[in-house]
A and B are shown apart, each in its own frame.
Chain A
Amino acid sequence: MKIKNLLIYSIISSFFLLSLISIWKILVTLQGLKLENFNTTIIFILGFLFSFFNVFISERLNFIFKFLFFALIFVYVDGFLISKLPIWYNIGIVFILYFFASKTKKYNSNFLNNEHSTQLILFDFLTLFGIVLFSFVILFPFYMMLVTSFKTQIALLVNPLDFSIDFNQDLKELFKSYFVIFTSYNFGKYILTSTIVSLGTVFITLIFAIPAAYAIARLNFFGKTFMSTSILIIYMFPAIVLVIPLYTVFSQLGLRNSISGLLIVYTATTLPVAIYMLQGYFKSIPKELEEAAILDKLSWFGIIIKIILPLSIPAISSVALYVFMIAWNEFLFSLMFLDNPNSFTLSRAIQYLSGDAETPRQYLMAGSVIVTLPVLFIFVYFEKYLVSGLTAGSVKG
């Protein structure tokens, strides 16, 4: 076994342990616990010793015993030196140690004899660290959005670093921001408008897109290739360039501040995506089915209704979900076209709320939670269907 590999492995793993425990300690201090110091040297030495001897002991001792022994020493030394920390702190430490011990399980003397073991170890620990870091960086803002919506103005100002939700208070107090935005800021109406606009867009888009996608997928006609390539080009086209002409035309036609105006624009902007996704799917349906139908003298309308639609329900529903999400999230056109609070969508309403500097931020965050939840719910629930569509480039952003 190479001594160099052993030392490098021990150092890297103890750094990893150190960073995990430091993150835990930072989180703990924010909850009001006073830590005198971080005890970096002791954590580092303990981690180093554990990783070092772990290589020699490896299979000779059961993992559970090994881990328990290590955890006991660690908690005793750490707790003893820092004097009396609450039990939940130490439970957290034990969980971190378990995670760490299970990750170092596979490194034994055989592994370290490998020529590239240092690089492999570096790769492994960087991946682990990256996963922890990225989940934190992504989830933290969402978590703060939720936490802030349950706070009061005073609590926010007194301690901006309190990341906990106080569940001991009255339910009415806890959900106060939500009550306020529904009662005095009229959010019920905005949710309704957003839902109508999004569902309407889905419905109209599908009505327009299904026949067009069928024609592009199946029929031969002049301008077919031109049409299918121009779909992609139109899809790339910047929305900001459309804003001024549409604003002028819509003002003159009286379509501003109306749901129908929004429906027209949203349908037109989602159509290219919908057609593109649907025609791809229609092409994969075997042609023989339709040939039989043509012999039965079904019209194109009959073919679409009786053969194509029942076969492509998964594709149609995933397109529908996408269009719904695009319309629900849309902000630019609702900012331009709506300036009367009676016809606001949710996104526009939240932006309007924030325009008033006096609006408490917990209301803003409660609104944000309301606008985010349906989208995340749809996404997590239907993830399997949606991810493949995302790769096909269906959500523009």
Chain B
Amino acid sequence: MQQLTTTLLTGLTLGAVFSAFALALVMIWRSTRIVNFAQAPMAMVTTYVALVLIDAGASYWVGFVAALLSGFVLGAVIERVVVRHVEGKAELNAVILTLGLFIVLHAAAALVFGSRFRSFPAPFGVRGLTVGDSTIPLTGFGIFTLVSVLVVMGLLVALFRGTDIGLRMRAAAFGPEVARLLGVKVGRMLTLGWALASVVGSLSGLLIAGGGLVHPGYMDSVVVYGFVAAVLGGLESPGGAVVGGLSLGLTLSVVSGYVGSEVVPLAALLVLVVVLLVRPGGLFSTVHERRV
């Protein structure tokens, strides 16, 4: 029983981080039809921004906010300067471009921040909470992870569903030509979409780093899990990304707890293959046909 609780709580926390990362991928896919392979190194760079500030004596929270803000700027700049040129062109161009960005950001981070492992602080305890005389495996940082991901998702839903700017962003994503005719500045909406997605990606970077070690490649494995979570949810649906992330986190945690941690990446790929075979559109996709 104790082990099951541990496994599930770990899975939920892990899943929340995957959800955030998957959500960032989905937001960019929906608006620009681009799978952003550079999402992981973008989040890595912004985590380093926080780390540099914290190491210079700033509080964790200053670093946290600075990372999210730099995520916003980084996302906007990358869309406006680099990605704009491949929007609406052949998919392969965008794939090559974001893979190239992946490599460039990696190398640049190693040059600027060094490639050694550096420890990253956590704002809350990373040890299990004590209830009575037993320790439950939910850490303060775990709770923070869940809450912050939920808050960010709530804010995004409020933005997209409840505000005029969210409406314009959706219009620009669903029908750019028509949106232009209606006076929507589509380019600006796409830039904003990338900026917001990059903020969400930055959050996942901070949450993965918290209480652990940071180096230029520390987010790379999250690409695989975040991508699987996004595909699980259909790549189109923000809600699907969240459910996909949580269910992947739980599945992998169960595999790790009961089978062995060395087969976790294998299990993730197995999930991906099974989903693509059984429901190629993802578990939550409303799209029935897909251009190959």
Q: Do A and B come from one complex?
A: no
Q: Which residues of A contact B (CB under 8 A)?
A: none
Q: Which residues of B contact A (CB under 8 A)?
A: none
